[in-house]
Amino acid sequence: MQNAIETEPLSFVATAAKGKVSALLTRPEGARSLLVFGHGAGAGMRHRFMQDMSACLARAGIATLRYQFPYMEAGSRRPDARPVLLATVRAAIDAARAAAPALPLFAGGKSMGGRMTSLAAAEAPLAGVRGLVFFGFPLHPAGRPSTERAEHLERVDLPMLFLQGERDKLAGLDLLRPVCARLAPRATLHVVPTADHGFHVLKSAGRSDADVLAELARTVAAWAATLGEAHR
């Protein structure tokens, strides 16, 4: 019998100027850690990937706090200025820590949500956060290979888990692997064969998208457990 999983709506102040944004705390019975989970640029916290990934993480014993960036809360498709995005990441982490103070805390997100979390961590420490998790780190725009977006990672003094699709057009593995090698031992790279930026796999892989999400959740849980033990 699976443990009960509850999802609770929350809200918090992103910035004084932007006001409150919505959040969803998904917490399984017996949760072992909590991931502050930011969404990608084009879809909010209720996007199917965010919902399904949160459910898979919950089954693996990881609670999540999904949250909206202010532009998405307002119904806009244009992301906020970077200072607003970074302030929202910090506010979400504060909200998560207040909601579940006893759980080890991790932060990250899908694509832009993960990158904004790492930029915030590079700017100043994220209080209480033990590590960062990237679901498809957007290393460069599609068709414009570069590693400039990874330069700030040198200033992130936290363990980092990169979950990447082999066919991700926003992160060529020929560029991302050397980045992670330079960041070692802080960086761990987990590649999903044939997966794209949304973690959809080719039919030839013989696996479903649900199989992939379950794999990602197990990978996060195992990685987070190792870091939790290091803090005992």
| Total domain count, the chain | 1
Residue 81: CA atoms inside 13 Å, Cβ hemisphere, count? 5
Low-confidence ranges of the chain (pLDDT < 50): 1, 230, 232
Predicted local distance difference test score (pLDDT) of residue 232: 42
Tokens of 133: 């998790």
Cβ contact 113:104 at 8 Å: no
CATH number at residue 29: 3.40.50.1820
Q: Tell me, letter by letter, the H, E, C secondary structure of 128-188.
A: CEEEEEEECCCCCCCCCCCCHHHHHHHHCCCCEEEEEECCCCCCCHHHHHHHHHHHCCCEE
Predicted local distance difference test score (pLDDT) of residue 3: 60
Containing domain of residue 34, as a range? 5-142+150-230
- Give the residue carrying structure tokens 């990874």: 150
80-102 confidence digits (pLDDT tens): 999 999 999 999 999 999 999 99
**pTM across the whole model:** 0.95
